[in-house]
């Protein structure tokens, strides 16, 4: 019968745990990867989303003003990069210079 020291047992248990978690970690990484919102997406079209607030059809969206964009919207979620998260479009990134009819002035 082979003997296994307590130290070796813990080493093997730790290595086995890491091996089991590796596939989970790779799936989690891809779950958090987000893609840019396509302006032709059905929800984006319904809300008049555009990547550039200066291209909003003022005739169709009378509530729009030139100083409104995703970067100063209450619905913005984290980040200060060019592409940011939005509560209206979960799992997608919107352009910080974009706009949609759900725009709400951020507090502060």
Domain match, 19 and 47 both: no
pLDDT digits (tens, 9 = 90+) for 61-86: 999 999 999 999 999 998 889 999 99
pLDDT of residue 24: 47
SS (H, E, C) the chain: CCCCCHHHHHHHHHHHHHHHHHHHHHHHHHHHCCEECCCCCHHHHHCCCECCHHHCCCCCCCCCCCCCCHHHECCEECCCCCEEEECCCCCEEEECCCECCCCCECCC
Domain match, 42 and 89 both: yes
What tokens does 60 get? 């169709």
Question: How many domains, the chain?
Answer: 2
- The pLDDT > 70 percentage for the chain reads 71
Domain match, 5 and 44 both: no
pLDDT of residue 108: 75
Domain that holds residue 80: 35-108
Domain match, 25 and 48 both: no
pLDDT digits (tens, 9 = 90+) for 16-62: 554 455 454 444 444 466 899 999 999 999 999 999 999 999 999 99
CATH of the domain at 103: 4.10.490.10
Whole-prediction pTM? 0.69
């Amino acid at each position: 019968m082979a003997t296994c020291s307590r130290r070796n047992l813990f080493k093997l248990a730790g290595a086995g745990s890491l091996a089991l978690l590796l596939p989970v970690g790779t799936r989690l990484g891809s779950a958090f990867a987000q893609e840019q919102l396509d302006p032709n997406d059905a929800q984006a079209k319904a809300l008049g989303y555009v990547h550039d607030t200066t291209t909003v059809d003022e005739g169709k969206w009378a509530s729009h003003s030139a100083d409104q964009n995703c970067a100063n919207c209450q619905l913005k979620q984290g980040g200060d990069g060019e592409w940011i998260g939005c509560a209206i479009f979960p799992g997608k990134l919107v352009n910080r210079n974009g706009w949609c009819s759900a725009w709400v002035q951020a507090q502060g």
